[in-house]
């Protein structure tokens, strides 16, 4: 039996537990005293950016159609005997799943029968069953999901930005694929993806809430099937430092233009890994607050000029081989907002970050991170993100608390390069002519 | 223990929900006013205007620097539609004092700010500042117009208007963009004074310990309002349309949005509300509902197909996204599933699945401070607000016959379809 290692957050008093299960699966448990809810996530390091794999008996990679990770997520719910949702219905758990750029996650939350639901989760994710008929049936459902996303301006403005920023990295392709690309998906391809990416060494289980380590371990011991050593390596992608195109526009039925200005962060893509340290992430979070928060006079100024509204946001996100700063929302004049934002970045680069503004921004990020652990689902998601990024769960909070101004300034200097910048716009149809 | 809704002064009630599990303190002040065509826009704008500042912090940037000093405290202001009541909701959230790195009294400071915003907003010669009004009315009007962006919610809103053309419910929580744009400092100042005079108020204090000073500050604030006379809020649940209303709107979209509106003939405080809730969950409220099993899984017609019940107004909406060629078939299938419940052709297992799902949703409410806050605000100003546990017990007690009877009471009154123009594309 593997030992549980205790992980303690000295600042919040929260504690969780980790072990690598004998099957090869990393397992985290975060008991939350006096909570009714249990939240579990079983995830694999396989997402939309994994566009090829090499079978053990092959030399050439199998190239995958766009959207297959998401399609596999849908199909895994259907086993030979029944649908996983029907099994969950007997426990009352609220189940779901999602596919992101770099991972696929299966999850549930419940207040009763958590271990029965955990059994269902571990069982169906390890029991793929794809036939011509079941794969075909899903095509209509996912086709409608794709159509729904195509009609969403907020999704379009984001996906188009990624296409404009990246030349080669598969993050430039929509996670769900297209109606045409999913037409190429077959049961054989799904089984190939499953064999390659759904290895327990490549996965992680997180359970937070009204549970104990011993009970989670008992379920894991019963359900997890030992997996062969080895995890798939992500193929490195040669990505130039510049943006693929500076501007991308599309017309849709919207009232006010939607826009995202994006900066592609220079990453070492040779490893194909997500290799930002907790300190770098902490610095990015504080910088988000400094340049995009309401305490920056830029926000009030743009509001008063009628150029932004509360949809305005500045955020940073990253994954294996990609990292992007986003600034956007709705605006009657996106170009004017972009010009003002670029001017603000230039000003801060030149004049530096005022220490008192740094302190208050750091305080704000720290306080919000403390409050985040009030919520069982947030605890589970925090563990998933930390594990997939190779960090310990509480490391970013620790780094925020002890962060120095220079680390934030360093990010400001390296992350905002005009050549690595693109603007994505969704414009009202009336402005087309 | 049941929360006590104590009257702090005339028409102002306070509930303290102490819960030591949370690291966050949360204070909510909800002002309840009747939703009416001539005041909907000004009351929708008011919370946004109030949280822009206060006498002590008239400058927006300085206010937000202060909030950041208070460990990222947030004060939000918005309006909710609760039946045919507008709830003007101001909420302050901050990290609990014990996590402040230098021992600062964060909760008291936040409560003071919230109180200042409500009772001592930034006025210039006795009126809200023109620049503040202009900024906020532009933002709100843009938000109302932007409802068209997300087609699922736009379609739902259009269906509400189709179903309730002459009822306050059809006004929506924000009103009309063109009317928002006409609001002046004079109108907003009058609306603020009138809201303080006429609103019934629910105060929620979610902190580790009850905060007598918070209660005292709000009591003093409202007691000082001259001519304070709370007006009653009521929701008309008696209206029926003479015939089914049907509308198809064409837009440059790829997917149809189908929304069907129903009257359930059952709204709060009817004792059959729990049965209607469970009926709606059985029909389309869970991942294994009749609509999901049949319309999505068996017929592969859609990605989503769900039913929502507004228990305060007694309405039910069924929503789906489909290809236009399948819209009529989807509508028929939705009605067929309702007939299935009316005829009692569902299994005990299907009913218990829906019940389990609902029961667990109610059990989970207490694990989230925002959910608890929304729970009590959504009850309007009930003298004895129900806890999630009490509502769970009501759901547990619903019989199969009551579910069938609830389905037999519902009548379809509108069908709204957002459909693609011929040759629609987004290029």
pLDDT at B357 over 80: yes
Q: How far is CA A337 from CA A38, A306, A423, B41, B339, in A?
A: 43, 10, 11, 28, 54
**Per-residue pLDDT reduced to its tens digit, A146-203:** 988 889 999 999 999 999 999 999 999 999 999 999 999 999 999 999 999 999 999 9
**Pairwise CB contact (< 8 Å): B139 & A309:** yes
Please report which confidence band the pLDDT of residue B372 belongs to, taking 50, 70 and 90 as the band edges: very high
Whole-number pLDDT of residue B256: 92
Whole-number pLDDT of residue A274: 54
Tell which wins on pLDDT, A142 or B424.
A142
Preferred mutation among A109, A136, A151, A211 to probe B, highest tally of B CBs within 10 A: A151
**Pairwise CB contact (< 8 Å): A258 & B149:** yes
Which chain A residues are Cβ-neighbours of B323 within 8 angstroms? 144, 147
Whole-number pLDDT of residue A431: 46
**Pairwise CB contact (< 8 Å): B64 & A293:** yes
Which tokens hold the place of A210? 């009204």
Instruction: Annotate A168-209 with DSSP letters as a single string.
Output: S-GGGS-TT--HHHHTT--HHHHHHHHHHH--GGGEEEEEEE
Within its chain, how far is the Cα of B224 from the centroid?
Answer: 30
Dist CA B362 CA A31 (whole Å): 21
**Per-residue pLDDT reduced to its tens digit, A220-232:** 999 999 988 878 8
Whole-number pLDDT of residue A269: 52
Please report which confidence band the pLDDT of residue A432 belongs to, taking 50, 70 and 90 as the band edges: very low
- Candidates B407, B229, B220, B381; CA nearest to B309 is B407
A109 beta partners: A39, A94
Angle between the A405-415 and A278-292 helix axes, to the nearest 10 degrees? 80
- Residue B347 exposed, middle or buried by CB count within 10 Å (0-12, 13-18, 19+): exposed
Considering only the beta carbons, identify the residue of B23, B252, B300 that sits closest to A374.
Answer: B23
Catalytic machinery residues of A:
73
Which tokens hold the place of B335? 């009605």
Closest-CA distance, B63 to chain A, in angstroms, reads 8
**Per-residue pLDDT reduced to its tens digit, A261-286:** 999 998 765 444 456 889 999 999 99
B124 beta partners: B127
Dist CA B409 CA B308 (whole Å): 16
Helix (H, G, I), strand (E, B) or coil at B418: strand
Phi-psi region at A258: left, alpha or beta (left = phi > 0; alpha = psi -120 to 50): beta
Please report which confidence band the pLDDT of residue A234 belongs to, taking 50, 70 and 90 as the band edges: confident
Considering only the beta carbons, identify the residue of B72, B138, B366 that sits closest to A36.
Answer: B366
Considering only the beta carbons, identify the residue of B301, B363, B369 that sits closest to A111.
Answer: B363
Within its chain, how far is the Cα of A203 from the centroid?
Answer: 15
Dist CA B23 CA B35 (whole Å): 35
Considering only the beta carbons, identify the residue of B321, B364, B426 that sits closest to A251.
Answer: B426
pLDDT at B427 over 50: no
Whole-number pLDDT of residue B215: 86
Q: What is the mean pLDDT of chain A?
A: 93
Dist CA B262 CA A67 (whole Å): 37
| pTM listed for this prediction | 0.94
**Pairwise CB contact (< 8 Å): B61 & A366:** no
pLDDT at B107 over 60: yes
Whole-number pLDDT of residue B1: 57
Domains defined for chain A, CATH in brackets: 5-223 (3.30.830.10), 247-431 (3.30.830.10)
Sheet holding B12-16, edge to edge: B6-9, B12-16, B200-206, B24-34, B85-95, B74-82
Which tokens hold the place of A167? 């030349």
Closest-CA distance, B288 to chain A, in angstroms, reads 6
pLDDT at A250 over 70: yes
Domains defined for chain B, CATH in brackets: 6-223 (3.30.830.10), 245-420 (3.30.830.10)
Considering only the beta carbons, identify the residue of A141, A151, A250 that sits closest to B427.
Answer: A250
Which range, of A235-244, A399-408, B62-71, B363-372, averages the lowest pLDDT?
A235-244
Dist CA A269 CA A212 (whole Å): 39
**Pairwise CB contact (< 8 Å): A94 & B60:** no
Whole-number pLDDT of residue B214: 84
Helix (H, G, I), strand (E, B) or coil at A359: helix
Dist CA B48 CA A96 (whole Å): 35
Which tokens hold the place of B268? 């709060």
Closest-CA distance, B300 to chain A, in angstroms, reads 5
Dist CA B83 CA B77 (whole Å): 19
Residue found under tokens 């819960």: B19
Dist CA B165 CA B157 (whole Å): 12
Cα torsion B405, B406, B412, B415: sign: negative
Please report which confidence band the pLDDT of residue A1 belongs to, taking 50, 70 and 90 as the band edges: low
Contact by Cβ (8 Å): B127, B186 = yes
Please report which confidence band the pLDDT of residue B332 belongs to, taking 50, 70 and 90 as the band edges: very high
Closest-CA distance, B234 to chain A, in angstroms, reads 32
Tell which wins on pLDDT, B341 or B303.
B341
**Pairwise CB contact (< 8 Å): B152 & A148:** yes
- Asked if omega into A116 is within 30° of 0 (cis), the reply is no
Which chain B residues are Cβ-neighbours of A328 within 8 angstroms? none
- Residue A186 exposed, middle or buried by CB count within 10 Å (0-12, 13-18, 19+): middle
- Residue A356 exposed, middle or buried by CB count within 10 Å (0-12, 13-18, 19+): exposed
- What is the interface size between A and B, counted as CB pairs within 8 Å? 204
Q: How far is CA A65 from CA A239, A296, A391, B18, B382, in A?
A: 21, 44, 31, 53, 55
**Percentage with pLDDT > 70 across chain A:** 97
Dist CA B90 CA B154 (whole Å): 26
**Pairwise CB contact (< 8 Å): A144 & B99:** no
pLDDT at B424 over 60: no
Dist CA A149 CA A83 (whole Å): 25
**Per-residue pLDDT reduced to its tens digit, A20-66:** 999 999 999 999 999 999 999 999 999 999 998 887 777 888 899 99
**Pairwise CB contact (< 8 Å): B142 & A256:** yes
pLDDT at B210 over 70: no
Contact by Cβ (8 Å): B292, B330 = no
Contact by Cβ (8 Å): A28, A42 = no
Helices of type H across B51-129: 60-69, 106-119
Please report which confidence band the pLDDT of residue B228 belongs to, taking 50, 70 and 90 as the band edges: very high
Which chain B residues are Cβ-neighbours of A255 within 8 angstroms? 142, 145-146, 148-149
């Amino acid at each position: 039996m593997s030992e549980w290692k205790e992980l303690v957050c000295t600042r919040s008093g929260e504690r969780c537990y980790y072990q690598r299960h004998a099957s090869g699966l990393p397992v985290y448990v975060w008991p939350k005293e006096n909570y009714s809810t249990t939240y579990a996530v079983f995830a694999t390091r396989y997402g939309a950016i994994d566009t090829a794999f090499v079978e053990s008996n092959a030399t050439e990679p199998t190239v995958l159609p766009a959207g297959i990770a998401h399609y596999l997520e849908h199909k895994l719910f259907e086993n030979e005997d029944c649908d996983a949702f029907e099994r969950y219905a007997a426990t009352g758990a609220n189940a779901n799943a999602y596919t992101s750029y770099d991972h696929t996650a299966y999850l549930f939350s419940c207040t009763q029968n958590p271990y029965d639901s955990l059994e269902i989760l571990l069982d169906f994710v390890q029991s793929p069953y794809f036939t011509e008929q079941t794969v075909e049936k899903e095509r209509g459902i996912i086709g409608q999901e794709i159509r729904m996303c195509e009609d969403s301006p907020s999704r379009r403005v984001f996906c188009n930005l990624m296409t404009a920023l990246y030349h080669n990295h598969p993050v430039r392709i929509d996670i769900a694929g297209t109606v045409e690309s999913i037409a190429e998906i077959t049961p054989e391809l799904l089984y190939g993806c499953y064999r390659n990416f759904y290895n327990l060494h490549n996965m992680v289980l997180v359970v937070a809430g009204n549970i104990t380590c011993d009970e989670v371990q008992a379920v894991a011991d019963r359900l997890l099937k030992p997996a062969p050593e080895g995890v798939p390596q992500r193929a490195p992608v040669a990505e130039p430092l510049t943006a693929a195109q500076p501007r991308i526009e599309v017309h849709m039925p919207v009232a006010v233009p939607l826009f995202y200005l994006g900066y592609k962060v220079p990453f070492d893509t040779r490893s194909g890994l997500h290799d930002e340290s907790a300190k770098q992430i902490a610095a990015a979070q504080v910088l988000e607050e400094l340049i995009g928060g309401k305490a920056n006079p830029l926000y009030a100024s743009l509001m008063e000029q009628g150029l932004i509204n509360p949809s305005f946001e500045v955020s940073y996100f990253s994954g294996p081989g990609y990292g992007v700063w986003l600034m956007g929302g709705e605006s009657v004049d996106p170009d004017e907002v972009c010009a003002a934002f670029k001017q603000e970045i230039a000003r801060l680069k030149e004049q530096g970050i005022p220490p008192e503004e740094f302190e208050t921004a750091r305080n704000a990020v720290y306080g919000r991170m403390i409050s985040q652990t009030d919520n069982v689902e947030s605890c589970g998601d925090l563990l998933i993100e930390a594990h997939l990024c190779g960090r310990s769960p509480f490391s970013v909070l620790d780094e925020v608390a002890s962060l120095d101004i220079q680390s934030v300034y360093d990010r400001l200097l390296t992350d905002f390069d005009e050549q690595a910048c693109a603007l994505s716009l969704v414009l009202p149809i009336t402005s087309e002519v | 223990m049941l929360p006590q809704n104590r009257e702090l002064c005339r028409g102002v009630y306070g509930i303290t929900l102490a819960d030591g599990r949370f690291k966050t303190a949360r204070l909510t002040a909800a002002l309840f006013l009747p939703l009416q065509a001539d005041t909907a826009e000004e009351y929708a704008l008011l919370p946004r205007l109030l949280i822009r500042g206060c006498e002590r912090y008239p400058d927006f940037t300085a206010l937000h620097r202060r909030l950041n000093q208070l460990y990222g405290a947030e004060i939000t202001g918005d309006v909710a539609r609760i039946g045919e009541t507008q709830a003007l909701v101001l909420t302050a959230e901050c990290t609990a004092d014990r996590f402040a790195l230098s021992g600062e009294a964060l909760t008291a400071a936040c409560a003071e700010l919230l109180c200042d915003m409500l009772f001592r907003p930034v006025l210039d010669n006795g009126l809200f500042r023109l620049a503040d009004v202009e900024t906020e009315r532009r933002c709100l009007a843009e938000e109302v117009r932007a409802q068209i962006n997300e087609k699922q919610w736009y379609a739902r809103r259009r269906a509400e208007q189709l179903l309730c053309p002459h009822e306050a419910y059809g006004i929506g929580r924000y009103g009309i963009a063109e009317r928002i744009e006409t609001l002046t400092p004079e109108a907003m100042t009058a609306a603020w004074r009138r809201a303080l005079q006429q609103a019934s108020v629910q105060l929620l204090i979610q902190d580790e310990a009850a905060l007598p000073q918070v209660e005292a500050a709000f009591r003093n604030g409202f007691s000082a309002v001259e001519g304070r006379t709370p007006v009653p809020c009521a929701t008309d649940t008696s209206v029926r349309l003479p015939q089914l209303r049907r509308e198809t709107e064409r837009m440059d979209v790829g997917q149809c949005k189908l929304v069907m509106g129903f009257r359930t003939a059952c709204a709060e405080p009817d004792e059959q509300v729990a049965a209607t809730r469970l009926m709606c969950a059985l029909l389309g409220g869970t991942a294994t509902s009749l609509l999901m099993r049949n319309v999505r899984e068996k017929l592969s017609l859609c990605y989503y197909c769900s039913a929502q019940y507004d228990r305060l107004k007694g309405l039910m909406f069924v929503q789906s996204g489909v290809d236009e060629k399948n819209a009529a078939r989807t509508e028929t299938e939705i009605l067929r599933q309702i007939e299935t419940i009316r005829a009692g052709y569902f299994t005990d297992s299907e009913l218990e699945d829906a019940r389990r799902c609902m029961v667990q949703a109610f059990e989970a409410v207490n694990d989230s401070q925002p959910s608890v806050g929304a729970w009590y605000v959504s009850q309007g100003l009930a003298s004895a607000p129900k806890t999630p546990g009490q509502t769970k017990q009501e759901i547990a007690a619903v019989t199969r016959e009551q579910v069938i009877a609830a389905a037999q009471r519902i009548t379809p009154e509108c069908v709204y379809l957002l459909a693609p123009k011929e040759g629609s594309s987004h290029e």
